[in-house]
Homo-oligomer: A and B are copies of this chain.
Amino acid sequence: MPIEPTRRDFIRAGGTGLLAAAAIPLAPPDKQRPDLQVLKPGGKKVGWAIVGLGQLALAQVMPAFREAKLSRPVALVSGHPEKARAVADTYGVDPKNIYNYDNFDSIKDNPDVDVVYIILPNSMHAEYTMRSAKAGKHVLCEKPMCANVAEAQHMIDACKAAGKKLMVAYRLRFEPYNKAAIQFCREKLCGPIVQMEMSNMQNTRPPNIRLSKALAGGPLGDIGVYCINACRYLSGEEPVEVTAMLYQPADDPRFAEVPRDYVFTMRFPSGVHAHCGVTFGSNSSRRYRVHCTDGYIDMEHPFGYSGQELRSFKQRQETKHNLETVNHFAAEMDHLSDCVLNDKDPLTPGEEGLADMRVIAAIEEAARTGQRTKI
């Protein structure tokens, strides 16, 4: 059971001196994981089918299996048979386990496949999640979970009806730096949160499905969801109200279908506010700062596949935290495999994605109407 994020506690400094706890004592990676790496009968790892062999699948997910302890790729689903065969060859997937979008449903007859990992354009997440559930498979669905709230609910319902687990691929919940930030907030190491600020900026160049409305693209769902999710996992609260503005430049053909920018603010029940900005039109920049009564944490590159930098400030003292890193995709896949093997609930179930979809919907409405909008 390799992933047990709740056990990685921040250790509290105990001294009585003024600055005894001046630096935030972030825990080292949990070295003492339980040994009971229960595998499938015959000692096999959980079998995964990868649906969609785009950039993310090829550059991140497939290589991540090399570092997975509980998960192995056993099937591929793609509309490009040649590409699929090459990938199968590289990663030792049996070529008979290559599917296309026409014969996908026959995956139900393949006992090697335990979990389906959906890495398709956002507009297809709902359909393939429901077909996977119907095929009797557990599902890991990339984020954003789907195109709207209704779809999210259908996906949850379908998996529940099929008795299958549904997890949304919020890999940062399994990433040491973001986990440390969460613990910092939960343990109130610098007092309660006062305010959060966050941004996720990139330059998206065509052709890119992120620029297609039909494929459920646009910066809010695609990269804004990182901010929304992070504000929720850092605060541990659900936002209740939002304001928003967007910008869709008339003179940039990239943004014929989707806005370039969103800026939005969220109000949380405790009185915490977050203000956020995302764009598809600037140099890459990703960061957040969480302001607490007695200090703050600052994360650079919180959302990338690597490169997280975490600093904490308490009074005038600044500490840079160097943590051991993990492969985000291996960690999240192994988490779901562990849930499957030991019948546990995923840390980021469908309901987690649904909550983000609700916020996205409210931000869209606020941006459209100019009104502060309740969630």
Contacts and interface: CB of A to CB of B under 8 A. Distances in A.
A11 B16 CA distance: 9
A271 interface: yes
Interface stretch (A102-110, A124-132, A286-294): A286-294
A237 B16 CA distance: 27
Contacts of A292: 282-283
B194 A282 contact: yes
A371 interface: yes
A37 B203 CA distance: 33
Nearest to A187: B18
A295 B203 CA distance: 10
A31 to B, nearest CB: 10
A189 interface: yes
Interface string A262-283: 0111010001011111010111
B243 A244 contact: yes
Contacts of A281: 194, 293
Nearest to A203: B293
A232 interface: no
Contacts of A245: 241, 243, 265, 267, 273, 372
A143 interface: no
Nearest to A268: B247
Given A14-B16, A276-B275, A371-B372, A263 B265 contact: yes
A264 to B, nearest CB: 8
A17 B281 CA distance: 20
A160 interface: no
A275 B227 CA distance: 14
Interface in A307-335: 312-323
